[in-house]
Amino acid sequence: MAWWLWVLLGFALVLCELLTPGGFFFLFFGLGAVAVGALVWLGAAGPAWLQWFLFSLISIGFLVPLRGRLLRRMATGDDAAARVDALVGQVAVLLDDLPPGEVGKAELRGTAWNARNEGERALRRGQRGRVTRVDGLTLWLQPE
């Protein structure tokens, strides 16, 4: 096959990866096709059967060591939930006066959050409150 057909196939496969939800399969086969296109352009790929063999070998060579790393790097869900759950028990500083049951602002780890006072007494600006739970972007606080 001509080198430009391999490169075109590679870009088509990468485009398929962008358009389909999945586990990063098309990406690695696209990279394999582009690599074979480069080898054909350099004159190092030989006959068609060797090009297809190299395509398979290179694609799997990209897939096996890199797919797991990429999936872990792109993972959300449980990891994100664990990071949010780690906020429970932390201490936030109130940026607003916060009567019981009301919502205001608090700072935790250098970031301003919505905060709800779930205690029975008011929290004053500058006072510290302990995070008892996180609901979306709202910290539920009790007086420390």
For 45-70, the pLDDT digits (tens) are 889 999 999 999 999 999 999 998 88
What is the CATH number that goes with domain 88-143?
2.40.50.140
What is the rounded CA–CA span in Å between residue 144 and residue 61?
55
Give the residue, 78 or 116, on which the prediction is more confident. Answer: 116
What is the rounded CA–CA span in Å between residue 12 and residue 9?
5
pLDDT, tens digit (0-9, with 9 covering 90-100), for 92-134: 999 999 999 899 999 998 999 999 999 888 999 999 999 999 9
Please state the pTM of the whole predicted model. 0.54
- For residue 89, give both structure tokens: 């028990």
Give the residue, 73 or 27, on which the prediction is more confident. Answer: 27
**Where do the domains of the chain lie?**
3-77, 88-143
The answer to whether residues 31 and 65 touch, using CB atoms and an 8 Å cutoff, is no
Average pLDDT over residues 60-89: 81
Across the chain, what does the average pLDDT equal?
90
- Please tell me the predicted confidence (pLDDT) of residue 103: 93
